[in-house]
A and B are shown apart, each in its own frame.
Chain A
Amino acid sequence: MTTVASFFRKPLVLWIIGIAIAVILVVLPLVSDPLINQTLTRILVAAVAVLGLNVIMGYTGQVSLGQIFFVGVGAYAAAFVLRSEWGQSLGAGVYVVAFLFAVVIPGVVGMIVALAAARLRGLAIAMVTIALPLIGVPLAKRLSDITGGSQGISVRYFKSPDPAILADDQWQYFVVLIIAAAVFALGYFLVRGKYGRAFAIVKANEAVAASMGVSPYRYKVLAFTIASIFGGISGFMTLVAYQFYSPDSLNFGHSIELVIATIVGGSASIAGSVLGGAFYVLVPQLTQAWGLGAFTLVIQGIVIILILFVLPGGLASLPKAIRRRMKKHRTPDSDGRSAAPSATQDASTH
């Protein structure tokens, strides 16, 4: 089995696999039907929100239960620009300005929240951020001038420029794909670089981090701000994909589902963020399709608890877990299992 494993770790092979996936992602939507394209689009939208959550949760080790709030802030900020008169007067530039709004406003809000929440050690961020979606829903209903109140807002501006070449669903898919690819590239270099190492030390031991000159407070705030910005970008992408946003979309339950998706996909893993996005979108979609809509929450709850018990690194760690098991099978004495399971421990699996 080791020959197979080492084959898959050769750089050339990895490049070929990467290019193959990229080609499939580009070509598949041109030939598949709109429903599949729509599903792929939604998975990419969720994957960006999950990636953001992974920056704060997986890489920095701070549980945030408010990610959906920043998705909502981003969506509303972008919609505000797209629907305004001054926005309309900008021509095609309106999309750029809307995108910038969806980056800056959630980022600023996220930073303010983190400046307070990161002061407490341990679980304070989880306990504070759980309030965000619960405040967000009534707030969105109240600010009906911007948000359209309970009815929500339609943003029907993301149409294909030339339907003869690309249908609307294909156009939306490619817009979302390009943004997602850029965000994932950014995330990849972020967690591998200087900041990623600082996050990992903060996660492993705050006291050690402080003694090495890495301020846990500053890096927690930074990680949370980045998570909020990625959430905001996911909000912009939500507008592209759904052309609609309402207070229901920033429901507390969705925030919890994002946390579950992050851990199921794979904590501190770039690939895991994509898998998490798929889990977030596919579980409700499949249960609805099979007429088991009522079971969505129960399935999500059971899956996350099972994952924590048997595969704490999430789905992304499955190949590694299998490899380890096979190795263990050959030499029964080499015990690779750790005593206490930890979903947010394995920082080396990218």
Chain B
Amino acid sequence: MGDVGTFIQLVVDGLANGSIYAALALAIVLVNQATGLINFSQGGMAVLSAYIALTVSNLLAPSIGVAGAVTLGIVVTLIFSFLLGAIVERVIMRRFERGDPDTAVVATIGLFTLITGLCGIIWSYNFLPFPWYFPVTDSFMIGTIGISVWSLTTFIAVLVVMAVLQIVFRSTKLGLGLRAVADNPVSAALSGLKVGPLLMAGWGLAAMLGAIAGTLVAPKLQLSPNMLDGALVYALAAVIIGGLGSPIGAVVAALGITVLENLAAYYVPIIGNDLKIAVPFIALFLVLIFRPQGLFGRKVVVRV
């Protein structure tokens, strides 16, 4: 039974980390669908949001207790991150959206550098412990199998967030508008939609998703300005493997590669914990060679 237990633990932990990467990947797909850009500062913005949550939590914890303070911290940072995304879109990215995509990428890289630097100045480069509802080392037993509470709750939380997002996109006016803009901004504008505010909302929602990912993972990894650099690579790999146009593909790919790498790190000794970041990269390589449009993507035909 021990072997099965280890296997299940590895899978559950993989799903938890994978759901963090999936949230980040989904944020990237969201921005890409709305504006055609890849936002390399998505992880940086998420880290900044997590710092806001941490600051609010630490400020309030002595007076209202850890659980209440963390909850308020999350609420505050959700609002903050939405505004952050919207403002970044309007003030910086708007100018690059219809231009050369490579220039826009460099702009998001500049933004990433700027945000990382700001976090470093304000909160230092030390690893800061992040208060949480329960100790992240907690686990419970099912028979002989120990399951991490943090892993399970994180996975479920991200699933719930994604379900909510799905509802927003499918059954609200905002979601309909966002989908229209993503599909064809010109005809969306012609049919009376306010494209500008919708783009801001799209970036805001993506930043919120990132903030959730950052805040969920911070208790486990401890907060530092570079906390999500690795996660960004996983998210980008997931986005390519799943296909850029496919939100579900990105989520499935993120979960898949993280479970795979967790298993590979344990069962293939040469990979080990330090080099498991190479697993998504190798998967990416294989997908690019054998199925360049991604596992879930459609082949795009470009008309000249």
* Residues of A that sit less than 8 Å from B by CB: 57, 61-63, 65, 116-117, 119-124, 126-128, 130-131, 134-135, 138-139, 141-142, 207-208, 211, 252-253, 256-257, 259-260, 263, 294-302, 304-305, 308-309, 312, 340-345
Closest to A307 in B: B110
Chain B proximity of A231: nearest CB distance (Å): 18
Closest to A312 in B: B103
B112 contacts A305, C-beta separation under 8 Å: no
Chain B proximity of A167: nearest CB distance (Å): 36
A117 touches which of B109, B116, B226, B288 (Cβ 8 Å): B288
A40 to B123, CA, bound (A): 34
Question: Is B65 in the interface zone, CB < 8 Å from A?
Answer: no
One digit per residue, 1 when the CB lies within 8 angstroms of any chain A CB and 0 when it does not, for chain B 148-179 equals 00000000000000000000000000000000
A139 contacts B278, C-beta separation under 8 Å: yes
Closest to A302 in B: B114
Known: A256-B113, A260-B113. Is A142-B106 also a contact (CB below 8 A)?
no
A63 contacts B102, C-beta separation under 8 Å: yes
Residues of B within 8 A of A308 (CB): 96, 103, 106-107, 110
Residues of A within 8 A of B278 (CB): 135, 138-139
Closest to A300 in B: B113
A288 to B60, CA, bound (A): 36
B107 contacts A305, C-beta separation under 8 Å: yes
A341 touches which of B103, B110, B120, B240 (Cβ 8 Å): B103
B230 contacts A134, C-beta separation under 8 Å: yes
A61 to B106, CA, bound (A): 12
A124 touches which of B111, B233, B281, B288 (Cβ 8 Å): B288
Closest to A206 in B: B302
Closest to A128 in B: B284
A342 contacts B236, C-beta separation under 8 Å: no
B:82-100 near A, CB below 8 Å? 92, 95-96, 98-100
Which 7 A/B pairs are nearest by Cβ-Cβ distance? A301-B114, A297-B117, A340-B99, A298-B117, A304-B110, A301-B113, A342-B100
A308 to B96, CA, bound (A): 9
Residues of B within 8 A of A126 (CB): 38, 40, 102, 105
B288 contacts A341, C-beta separation under 8 Å: no
Question: Is B292 in the interface zone, CB < 8 Å from A?
Answer: yes
Residues of A within 8 A of B232 (CB): 130
Interface majority SS (helix, strand, loop, mixed), chain B = helix
* Residues of B that sit less than 8 Å from A by CB: 38, 40, 92, 95-96, 98-103, 105-107, 109-118, 120-121, 226, 229-230, 232-233, 236-237, 239-240, 274-275, 277-278, 280-281, 284-285, 288-289, 292, 300, 302, 304
Q: List 13 A-B contacts (CB under 8 A).
A: A123-B101, A127-B38, A127-B240, A256-B109, A260-B109, A263-B106, A294-B117, A297-B120, A300-B114, A305-B114, A308-B107, A340-B100, A345-B100
A207 touches which of B40, B99, B288, B304 (Cβ 8 Å): B304
Residues of A within 8 A of B110 (CB): 260, 300-301, 304-305, 308
B38 contacts A123, C-beta separation under 8 Å: yes
A302 to B113, CA, bound (A): 9
A345 to B275, CA, bound (A): 38
B275 touches which of A123, A142, A302 (Cβ 8 Å): A142
B275 contacts A139, C-beta separation under 8 Å: yes
Known: A138-B274, A309-B95. Is A130-B117 also a contact (CB below 8 A)?
no
B106 contacts A134, C-beta separation under 8 Å: no
B105 contacts A134, C-beta separation under 8 Å: no
Closest to A138 in B: B274
B112 contacts A57, C-beta separation under 8 Å: no
Residues of B within 8 A of A122 (CB): 101
B240 contacts A128, C-beta separation under 8 Å: yes
Closest to A259 in B: B109
Known: A123-B38, A301-B110, A341-B95. Is A135-B281 also a contact (CB below 8 A)?
yes
B98 contacts A340, C-beta separation under 8 Å: yes
A343 contacts B103, C-beta separation under 8 Å: yes
A126 to B110, CA, bound (A): 14
- For the A-B complex with A252-B226, A305-B92 known, give 10 more contacts whose Cβ atoms are closer than 8 Å: A63-B105, A123-B105, A138-B275, A207-B302, A300-B114, A308-B96, A340-B98, A340-B100, A343-B100, A343-B106
Closest to A57 in B: B102
A63 to B233, CA, bound (A): 15
A345 to B102, CA, bound (A): 10
A131 touches which of B40, B105, B233 (Cβ 8 Å): B233
Chain B proximity of A208: nearest CB distance (Å): 8
Known: A259-B109, A297-B113, A342-B103. Is A131-B120 also a contact (CB below 8 A)?
no
Residues of A within 8 A of B114 (CB): 297-298, 300-302, 305
A304 contacts B106, C-beta separation under 8 Å: yes
A127 contacts B292, C-beta separation under 8 Å: no
Chain B proximity of A216: nearest CB distance (Å): 12
Known: A124-B288, A207-B304. Is A259-B99 also a contact (CB below 8 A)?
no
